[in-house]
Structure 1
Amino acid sequence: MIIFEVLLYAFIVIVSVQLVFYGFIFGKFAATKQNNVSNSHQPVSVIICAKNEAKNLKKNLPFILSQSYPTFEVVLINDSSCDKTLKVMEAFKKDNEHIKIVNVQPIEKFWGNKKYALTLGIKAAKYNTLLFTDADCKPMSKHWITEMSARFDPEKTLVLGYGPYQKIKGSLLNLLIRFETFMTAVQYFSYTNIGLPYMAVGRNLAYRKELFFEANGFMNHMNIKSGDDDLFVNQTATSKNTIICISKSSFTESIPKKTFKSWLLQKRRHISTASHYKLNHKILLSLFYCSQFLFWALAIIIISFSYKWELVLGLIFLRFIIQYTTLYSASAKLDEKSLILYTPILEFLLVLIQFFIFMQNLSSKPKHWK
């Protein structure tokens, strides 16, 4: 039948697109080695913006304050919290001269806008090198500051790090969260490697203070309440000024969401922010997702009707071989090998969830910050 012939040719095109992504774009990152760099031990300002994070600060601040680094300060931003966040900050400050507190009072113009609070924290920072993380994150080694700051040089003023989520045994939600985080990292590291940096995560990101002011801070997207990390990087990152850091000593670990509802809301915010990326970035990201969606949809349809199933199975097998090879190498770099065995199941579920989120965002806008 003509309809199945058309579907088969479409499937061949889709598989080819997927092979380009996994074999070449992501494959280049999978083959990348983290170069050793010298460290001048430049002074660093670690910046943490917290809103109602008293418990997480108590738990995670000691890991930051115990970093093995000669000169650094920790700028704690209390973004109009209504719990004991400020008291926790003040308690730590009594015993740590490294700490500086910025207590942000709510104002009508920037109500609930994390970017306003971050701007005040950045202005208060003593040093030119800024390293960002979140209150619910902890460095996975005492060399986090060392590794991230070592990537800077006179040309590189923006460093993209990795922030995996904590592993929880026996949880499908946790597997999904970690797989989605891993795949997102593979993409933004890969695009940076080919000279198209487009985003980063604020739980492990560093840049020069001068870059922030040269870009006029967050003013170009201050009206968008999310995107203090990815929209800023999308605006300022270039092939010349951006570098990745994939040393395992540079990772920060975050606490994952505990319910599907809270995670879906988080992902809705992230996906809605992506609509403000530069056009070429949106095209690449859309092409990858659409090719994923169509790969599964067409494979299921054609196989269901047993149309030239030997050829179709061969294409599916080829695609999975390239995908597994690339993702296994990437997972070794990002310490996520435990995810690879479940790749087909997690990918299929994630494609469906992302489609659901896209449809939800068409009808309503998600809330932002806290």
Structure 2
Amino acid sequence: MTHFLGNLFFWFFVFIVLLQLFYYLFFFVRLAFYKEKEVLESQEYPVSVVVCARDEAGNLVKSLPGILLQKYQTTHEVVLVNDNSVDDTKYLLEEFQKTFKQLRVLPLTQEGKLIPGKKFPLSMGIRTAKYDVLLLSDADCMPASEYWIQKMQEGYKKGIDIVLGYGAYQKKKGFLNKLIRFETFHTALQYLSYALAGIPYMGVGRNLSYKRNIFMESKGFASINHIPGGDDDLFINKIATKTNTAIVIHKDAHTISEPKTTWTEWRKQKNRHYTTAKYYKPKFKFLLGLYSAGCFLVYPLALLSIIFYGWKAVLVLLVVRWLLLAFVWKKSMEKLNESDLWSYFLLFDFWNCLYYLLFLPSVFKKPAKSWK
């Protein structure tokens, strides 16, 4: 019986390792070796930056100047949707408008009926926007440079309707900050690599661009209005194709957000994010679920294989896996300006096993109705 269990656990472990090697060699290596094409001809489209805010005066006073002071010579505007704020957002925006003529404020004083979450204010902002190229961000996000608009709009080549960007979190002291930033990197490793493989499945609202035309043609969020979240990932999941999606990962094109500072706040945030995953297209649920299962099972199976089968073959497979993982993560972290995380790669690899166990229940939870 012990011999049977040993073989069962070991060959299951071999399958999981080979499965993960496939994901890294077929998907994730694409981001590791990705090189953005040099822009030979200057292109500058008129751009509408759209940001929604509800009671975000404290964040806007820090983030909005970075958006308004962009070095972008072509026509652009910043549409700020003030969604039923009861703090000082209104007065803060009035002061900004005195200096920045490109700032347009859309005040909302009523909630969208039967449309929970952020979709109603975002839809109103998009419909109000003057220009076809939309660049979306959140009220707590700051552009990483003065060239954010310039770099993001450079992703629009012929046939491209969607540009996926990277939304980083501010680097601070503490292990929680490193975990938050690693999880953000790991998520980006997946959605950016899938896009490069021709099967884009999501973007993040902290740094996302698409054309107003495709939003209107696809009837906006109509098919997902009943779901509180998903204004970024579910919408992209619906409209993105192999030919209409590009990525921009230049460090000047990143946005930077303020990270959560307590485990409770972060877990609440992640629980909210994962409630939309069950609405993805079946092929993406399968691919993402299979990868998550591999991350969760690899170390328990390694331990069981060592106990019931032997340690030598297990160690060889783990070393091969670690070497590939370390290489891909290092190269990809360099691309996304997260290189300081690489020295913890083994710890983060172990953490992935626990991470998927902690947040799996979120997939089956009912989404919260409020976006704030």
| Mapped pair 1:353 → 2:325 | no
Find the counterpart in structure 1 of residue 318 from structure 2: 316
CA distance in 2, matches of 1:17, 1:163: 28
State the SS of the aligned residue for 1:120: helix
Q: Contact 2:166/2:204 (CA < 8 Å) preserved in 1?
A: yes
Query: What is the match of residue 208 of structure 1?
Result: 211
Of the candidates 46, 66, 81, which is equivalent to residue 69 of structure 2? 66
Decide whether the 8 Å contact of 1:30 with 1:326 is kept in 2. Answer: yes
When the two structures are superposed, what TM-score results if normalisation uses the length of structure 2?
0.96
Larger deviation: 185-194 or 79-88? 79-88
* 1:133 aligned residue: 137
Task: Evaluate the alpha carbon distance shift between residue 66 and residue 367 of structure 1 in structure 2; reply closer, same or farther with a 3 A threshold.
Answer: same
Residue identity opposite 2:230 in structure 1: G
* Matching residue of 1:334: 336
The offset of 1:360, in angstroms, is 5.1
> Aligned residues, how many?
368
Query: 1:151 is matched by which residue type in structure 2?
Result: G
Q: Which residue does 1:260 correspond to in 2?
A: 263
Tell me if the contact between 1:79 and 1:114 (Cα under 8 Å) persists in the aligned partners.
no
Aligned partners of 2:161 and 2:27: how far apart in 1? Answer: 24
Instruction: Choose the corresponding residue for 2:200, options 177, 184, 197.
Output: 197
User: In structure 1, how many angstroms separate the alpha carbons of the residues matched to 2:294 and 2:360?
Assistant: 16
Tell me what 2:95 maps to. Answer: 91
- In the alignment, which residue of structure 1 is the partner of 2:188? 185
Partner of 1:40: 43
CA shift digits 1:148-183 (9 cap, x unpaired): 0111133001000001100112x1111111000001
Structure 1 residues 360, 129: CA separation in 2 closer, same or farther (over 3 Å shift)? closer
Residue in structure 2 matched with residue 307 of structure 1 by the alignment: 309
Q: Provide the rounded CA distance (Å) in 1 between the counterparts of 2:332 and 2:136.
A: 24
Q: Is the 8 A contact 2:228 2:367 kept in 1?
A: no
Mapped to 2, the partners of 1:335 and 1:226 lie a distance apart of 28
174-183 vs 148-157, greater mean Cα deviation: 148-157
Deviates more, 1:20-29 or 1:224-233: 20-29
In 1, Cα distance between the equivalents of 2:329 and 2:348? 13
2:113 aligned residue (89, 106, 109): 109
Match of 2:204, SS state, is coil
Judge conservation of contact 2:164–2:248 (CA < 8 Å) in 1.
Answer: yes
Distance 1:146 1:362 in 2: 40
- Report if the CA contact (8 A) 2:137-2:207 is conserved: yes
What is aligned with 2:245? 242
**Equivalent-residue separation in structure 1 for 2:259 and 2:23 (angstroms):** 28
Q: Name the aligned partner's letter for residue 53 of structure 1.
A: E
Provide the C-alpha distance between the structure 2 equivalents of 1:63 and 1:360, rounded to a whole number of angstroms: 34
Aligned to 1:21: 23
The amino acid of 1:6's aligned partner reads L
Shift in Å, 1:205: 0.5
The answer (yes or no) to whether the contact 1:23–1:323 under 8 Å persists in 2 is no
CA distance, structure 2, for counterparts of residue 271 and residue 138 of structure 1: 24
Unpaired segments ≥5 residues, structure 2: none
Give the residue type in structure 2 aligned to 1:259: T
Alpha-carbon distance change, 310 to 368 in structure 1, aligned in 2, over 3 angstroms: farther
For residue 96 of structure 1, what is the amino acid of its counterpart? F
The whole-number CA distance in structure 1 between the counterparts of 2:151 and 2:10 is 48
Deviations 1:90-135 (A, max 9, x none): 2111211101011112236146531000111111111111001111
Following TM superposition, by how much is the alpha carbon of 1:296 offset from its aligned partner in structure 2, in angstroms?
1.4
Deviations 1:246-287 (A, max 9, x none): 111101111101111111111111111111111111111001
Please tell me whether the aligned partners of residues 275 and 365 of structure 2 are also in contact (alpha carbons under 8 angstroms). Answer: no
For structure 1, the 5+ residue unaligned runs are none
